Structure 1
Amino acid sequence: MDILKLLSRSTKQTTRTRKDAPSTKLPSAGTSANPQLFYDAIPEARGKKRKRGRETEQVQAQDEAESNVNFFEEKASVSKEKKSPAPKLATKSESKTDIVAELLDEGECRQLLRSHRLKATLLPSNKPAKVIKKSKKKKKAVESTKKEEYKQIYPQPLVAFKDLRSTYGISGRMAENLVQQGYKIPTEVQMGSLPLLLRPKIALGESINEVEDANGEIHVDLLAVAPTGSGKTLAFLIPIVDQIMQRRRASEAKEHVLEAIVVAPTKELATQIVNEAKKLSPGTGVKVVGMRKGMRITKEDDQEQDESSGDEGEDEEDDDGEDAEKPRKRTSQPAVKADIMVSTPGLLFSALSTDLAQPASLPTTRTLVLDEADVLLDPLFRDQTLGVWNSCTNPELRVTLWSATMGSNIESLASSTIQSRRSRLDLAPTSHIIRLVVGLKDSAIPNITHRLVYAATEPGKLIALRQLLHPTAKSTDATQSLRPPFLVFTQTIPRAVALHSELLYDIPSEAGGSTRIAVLHAELSDTARSTIMTRFRNGEIWILITTDILSRGVDFRGINGVVNYDVPNSGAAYIHRVGRTGRAGREGGVAVTFYTKEDIPYVKAVANIIAASEKAAGKGESEAGMKRWLLDALPTPSKQEKKKLKLHGVEARRGGLGEKNKEGNVKGKWKSQISTKSGYERKLEHNRKGAIQGSRRRMLEAEKEEQNGEDSEWGGIDE
């Protein structure tokens, strides 16, 4: 046998495996049969041992045994045993969705909520001030009083979307729209929030006495904390659209009145919410509008313009007098007609405060939604968000706050704002807030693979990122490299632009070349940003370099991974960044985080989140990527360092230059730049540019001297 033929056969086999390699299943590919993130097996219920896969077989066997006793007996007892929704969620089968769900007792609600890691808590109406602990003996007494103030409740969970029609009474048109969109099994946040927002009297059950006032009315505000990609947008849009449609149908009103406002921190997220709302509203008559510059949302100026048009002569005479001192700016554009308005806080607040000296009021608004509430109530947007909140003067206003990360300071600020608003409007002082938490609070979803890579220097990070661009490259742990499409996050806009220019020609022309890489940041125009988003969703762009502008709320269903080129400013920023992959129950992608020597003091928060996520995924010490020795070796930053990092990021990368020393000189100027050129080459290029600018400056000065000399000679002749 020829040895060359054997060698050629072996090479052909290896090439065949390489061709088959791209056909493997990629992360975040396809659609998920069950979008739920958690389901823990219920150990015991009604004396029966329930397991996720075997329970339906036991129920079917019991049904057959009972039916053999008497063929003419009605199977009422069988239907009673099947009313528990646990088997339907456990088997993930579509045939179970045809069964009409019944209301569960408190014990069954408690088991089902715990199995999906849902926790609903009734917050105290008046939050007391912090008590100073003077001795250890009083510590137990103080903690016991605090536990009594926060009461855990067990509302009715939503088993399937079809139950919204039969149990919670949504309109038939809304139910048809949900079926057309393919919604069957609700996620955890939808399971707990939709019954509370649609029919709180049915959902609360035995806990209704805790929130019902003397007149029998219920006013409940919701604060929901759920992981990224868990369906929070759908959870607050369904009640808004359905309630607006039913109110308009009851009053037979055809005019569009602004009844709901949704506030989002970025334009991309606001546009996404508008698109999702339009998918739910066909045939309902509900009009959804995204806020744009120049829009007017109040009708107060329209009446004054009509009055002023009848007295044009008088107004023209007084234009230079009293009218010139009025703060009102009259515009010819009429107020927009909408039922739901989606906007960023700055755009909406400027529209309310442009026409009047004080922000205009919104008396018709019944629902205010703060999406990504921890950012909206952060110092960056706090004044604008609270200005919009205070403009909603309707006594029936219901406020819902949604985010994947929610600190205790945001919770206390929301509670105090609700109480102060009710006292200012002379409303009933009691207002109840229900906090709904899915899974572990302030943690990443467990279906993501995390990698923390030490790159030492900025050139090392660039080399590591270039290795990820090769689809056949292998990492150090022999796992498959990150596949496009994926997002790359940087700390600042100049660094995003510089990284884009460096990677512009890394993809070969046969695969599309520079058209496959793009950069998106806040300094681009709205048209350019929307075009890049559309191309990225259509698959025309594979690698999108951006800042934290896309880290929150934006839904990309086909993202295979996320690269943190720069360490995020906080643990919450890391959770939201990596949450762009593995959404809606899909198999999660890869989250790669590069860190250098300058980042070591700030990596501890990211490492703790990775360790908690791997523990929630059930990984042991041998399987986990975050080792215990690394957590112990990393330094713990102080509170002042955390605050400084959150506001400004790593100091060495501000603006892409470097950190300044005490004398004001920039040190490490070239080390922090994103470039493959050495410091010596950049120095020569800088000197060359300086020489060119100096020669141009000398030429201009020489021309000016010649002109001045000619002017003096001609001046002498004229004399």
Structure 2
Amino acid sequence: MTSFTDLGLIEPLLRAVASEGYETPTPIQVGAIPPLAEGRDLLGIAQTGTGKTAAFVLPILQRLAAGNVRPKSRTIRALVLTPTRELAVQIADSARSYGRNLKLTRATIFGGVGQNPQTQALARGVDLVVATPGRLLDLMEQGHLRLDAVEHFVLDEADRMLDMGFLPAVRRIVAALPTDRQTALFSATMPTEIEKLAGGLLRDPARVAVTPVSSTVDRINQRVLFVEKTNKRALLADLLRDRGIARALVFTRTKHGANKVAEQLAKGGVRADAIHGNKSQNARQRALDGFRSGDLRVLVATDIAARGIDVDGVTHVINFDLPNEPESYVHRIGRTARAGADGAAISFCDSEEAPWLRDIEKVIGKQVPVDPAHPWHDEAAAAAVTSRRKPAGRPGQAPGGAGRGRRSGGSGNGGGFNGGGRRRAA
């Protein structure tokens, strides 16, 4: 079995990794750390939860430490570009933990907060900056930083950059970088636009791909509940009476919907809050911290905001609204069953969402079992899906899966989801 020592990491990083309780590197770390530590460019196909943060942060810290160069004022040596504020904070926190035994400086650059602490850090020069595109460009235009000294550049969550309309900003940032640099690009999917971007950014890159988007984590217990749209809130409240649903991440399609669901749950006595792009950075961070600490039992999120959520021990992912992109379903449910634990994914589906469920099943390569044993089961929505399904592939399994009793996913998988298994790096 490969260890972090086998990956050629220096002793201060090995000590930091051990202090975090990490023992076994993940496949993306095994594949990415050696070529990045050697200075090669890299193209990584990896979803959230595979350990890709450590896969690029550890080798970058190692190369920065080996360089033994002090950055000049308003310059940076390594830049990690990421689409959301939450993800920027998470990566910066990881860099702080992994680099605790190294004399390297770090800064996090994102909007929604005052810029003075950020500009003060940049004025001294910084070894590693984690940034979102908008605020980084803003500070560049104000003259607070230059990118001509960047030695290492990481573009993380490239497909989400595309979804959020950030590619023009990314191209402007890349144009300000020196041509002689190391570049790594990570993306969960590889649409044509991202392939073109990678082709222009990377030079003879090493390629690492793990957890393809067409597969889902085997440990996740998936099921779908057919329900009319107007009954979804009542169904969610009913499900949450099961204390086995200890820490739930609930996805809605809109920011307004996230607020409504969180407010309803709070009125019903469930510790819940919402996280989305319209909330201030402080409010978003407060909600995320509360969810991570256990003060909040439920966090209601939109897809874009959820890209920065990296929390162990999520026992359930609940799709209050199904996503209209099948890949988003895979990203969503991948936030449970992490760190060697089990998990459950429960999806609500109304008649309008039936085509999206069929698309999801095509992408994941299997039918999501139907659970009809709840008071709001909608036969019309079920028929819209099951009538077009092929018979199940395993002998003896009924098409669409068998109903397993009310709240069976909760009580059967509650409690100890983040126990068992060795802890792995983020």
Gaps of 5+ in 1: 1-88, 90-158, 201-219, 299-331, 420-430, 473-481, 508-513, 616-626, 636-719
Return the alpha-carbon distance in structure 1 between the equivalents of residues 76 and 92 of structure 2.
15
| Pairing of 1:162-181 with structure 2 (within 5 A) | 162-164=5-7, 168=8, 170-181=9-20
Change (3 A) 1:436 1:408: farther
Change (3 A) 1:283 1:230: same
> 1:296·1:336 contact (CA, 8 Å) conserved in 2?
no
Choose which of 214, 225, 229 in structure 1 pairs with 2:49. Answer: 229
| Pairing of 1:650-669 with structure 2 (within 5 A) | none
Return the alpha-carbon distance in structure 2 between the equivalents of residues 174 and 469 of structure 1.
42
Change (3 A) 1:611 1:387: same
> 1:446·1:614 contact (CA, 8 Å) conserved in 2?
no
Return the alpha-carbon distance in structure 2 between the equivalents of residues 227 and 586 of structure 1.
17
Change (3 A) 1:464 1:609: farther
Query: What displacement does 1:531 show?
Result: 1.4
Spell out, residue by residue over 1:637-680, the C-alpha distance to the aligned partner (whole angstroms, 9 max, x if none): xxxxxxxxxxxxxxxxxxxxxxxxxxxxxxxxxxxxxxxxxxxx
> 2:224·2:347 contact (CA, 8 Å) conserved in 1?
yes
Spell out, residue by residue over 1:482-522, the C-alpha distance to the aligned partner (whole angstroms, 9 max, x if none): 61210111111111122222222323xxxxxx5x1212222
Return the alpha-carbon distance in structure 1 between the equivalents of residues 66 and 187 of structure 2.
28
Change (3 A) 1:336 1:487: farther
* Residue aligning to 2:407: none
Spell out, residue by residue over 1:585-641, the C-alpha distance to the aligned partner (whole angstroms, 9 max, x if none): 322x111111111212322222224445989xxxxxxxxxxx9x9577169xxxxxx
Residue 139 of structure 2 aligns with an amino acid whose one-letter code is: A
Choose which of 138, 150, 157 in structure 2 pairs with 1:365. Answer: 150
Return the alpha-carbon distance in structure 2 between the equivalents of residues 361 and 199 of structure 1.
26
Return the alpha-carbon distance in structure 2 between the equivalents of residues 296 and 348 of structure 1.
14
Query: What displacement does 1:344 show?
Result: 0.9
Query: What displacement does 1:560 show?
Result: 0.3
Tell me if 1:459 matches 2:298: no
* Residue aligning to 2:274: 519
* Residue aligning to 2:140: 352
TM-score of the aligned structures, taking structure 1 as reference length = 0.48
Residue 361 of structure 2 aligns with an amino acid whose one-letter code is: A
* Residue aligning to 1:700: none
More helix per residue:
1
> 2:255·2:276 contact (CA, 8 Å) conserved in 1?
yes
- Residue 524 of structure 1 aligns to a residue in which SS? coil
Tell me if 1:272 matches 2:90: yes
- Residue 377 of structure 1 aligns to a residue in which SS? helix
Spell out, residue by residue over 1:265-315, the C-alpha distance to the aligned partner (whole angstroms, 9 max, x if none): 1111111111110001123111111114435989xxxxxxxxxxxxxxxxx
Query: What displacement does 1:567 show?
Result: 1.2
Residue 162 of structure 1 aligns with an amino acid whose one-letter code is: T
| Pairing of 1:98-247 with structure 2 (within 5 A) | 159-164=2-7, 168=8, 170-199=9-38, 220-247=40-67
> 1:295·1:336 contact (CA, 8 Å) conserved in 2?
no
Change (3 A) 1:335 1:545: same
| Pairing of 1:501-540 with structure 2 (within 5 A) | 501-507=263-269, 516-540=271-295
Query: What displacement does 1:262 show?
Result: 0.8
Change (3 A) 1:584 1:632: farther
Q: What RMSD, in angstroms, separates the aligned Cα atoms of the two structures? A: 2.9
Change (3 A) 1:261 1:279: same
Query: What displacement does 1:468 show?
Result: 0.9
| Pairing of 1:591-606 with structure 2 (within 5 A) | 591-606=345-360
Query: What displacement does 1:254 show?
Result: 7.8
| Pairing of 1:598-637 with structure 2 (within 5 A) | 598-612=352-366, 630=385, 633=388
Change (3 A) 1:591 1:496: same
- Which consecutive aligned stretches of 4+ in structure 1 deviate over 6 angstroms post-superposition? none
Change (3 A) 1:383 1:449: same
Choose which of 316, 321, 324 in structure 2 pairs with 1:561. Answer: 316
Tell me if 1:294 matches 2:112: no
Return the alpha-carbon distance in structure 1 between the equivalents of residues 93 and 36 of structure 2.
21
Return the alpha-carbon distance in structure 1 between the equivalents of residues 331 and 229 of structure 2.
24
- Residue 79 of structure 2 aligns to a residue in which SS? strand
Change (3 A) 1:374 1:161: same
Return the alpha-carbon distance in structure 2 between the equivalents of residues 380 and 410 of structure 1.
12
Tell me if 1:434 matches 2:206: yes
- Residue 224 of structure 2 aligns to a residue in which SS? strand
Change (3 A) 1:463 1:400: same
Return the alpha-carbon distance in structure 2 between the equivalents of residues 338 and 350 of structure 1.
17
Residue 21 of structure 2 aligns with an amino acid whose one-letter code is: G
* Residue aligning to 1:418: 201
Relative contact order higher in (CA < 8 Å, ≥ 6 apart)? 2
Return the alpha-carbon distance in structure 1 between the equivalents of residues 141 and 327 of structure 2.
32
> 1:270·1:290 contact (CA, 8 Å) conserved in 2?
yes
Change (3 A) 1:175 1:413: same
Spell out, residue by residue over 1:121-172, the C-alpha distance to the aligned partner (whole angstroms, 9 max, x if none): xxxxxxxxxxxxxxxxxxxxxxxxxxxxxxxxxxxxxx211223xxx3x432
Return the alpha-carbon distance in structure 1 between the equivalents of residues 192 and 213 of structure 2.
11
Query: What displacement does 1:361 show?
Result: 4.8
Query: What displacement does 1:581 show?
Result: 0.8
* Residue aligning to 2:404: none
Query: What displacement does 1:469 show?
Result: 0.8
* Residue aligning to 1:576: 331
Spell out, residue by residue over 1:667-713, the C-alpha distance to the aligned partner (whole angstroms, 9 max, x if none): xxxxxxxxxxxxxxxxxxxxxxxxxxxxxxxxxxxxxxxxxxxxxxx
* Residue aligning to 1:487: 249
Choose which of 449, 452, 456 in structure 1 pairs with 2:221. Answer: 449
Query: What displacement does 1:526 show?
Result: 1.5
> 1:368·1:397 contact (CA, 8 Å) conserved in 2?
yes
Return the alpha-carbon distance in structure 2 between the equivalents of residues 348 and 265 of structure 1.
11
TM-score of the aligned structures, taking structure 2 as reference length = 0.80
Residue 235 of structure 1 aligns with an amino acid whose one-letter code is: A
Residue 345 of structure 2 aligns with an amino acid whose one-letter code is: A
Gaps of 5+ in 2: 370-381, 391-426
Return the alpha-carbon distance in structure 2 between the equivalents of residues 634 and 443 of structure 1.
19
Choose which of 119, 123, 136 in structure 2 pairs with 1:335. Answer: 123
Change (3 A) 1:612 1:288: farther
Spell out, residue by residue over 1:337-376, the C-alpha distance to the aligned partner (whole angstroms, 9 max, x if none): 31111111111122222449xxx75111011111111112
Most deviating of 360-369 and 235-244: 360-369
Return the alpha-carbon distance in structure 2 between the equivalents of residues 186 and 268 of structure 1.
24
* Residue aligning to 1:396: 180
Return the alpha-carbon distance in structure 2 between the equivalents of residues 276 and 296 of structure 1.
20
Return the alpha-carbon distance in structure 2 between the equivalents of residues 194 and 280 of structure 1.
14
Residue 104 of structure 2 aligns with an amino acid whose one-letter code is: V
Return the alpha-carbon distance in structure 2 between the equivalents of residues 379 and 531 of structure 1.
23
> 2:86·2:307 contact (CA, 8 Å) conserved in 1?
no
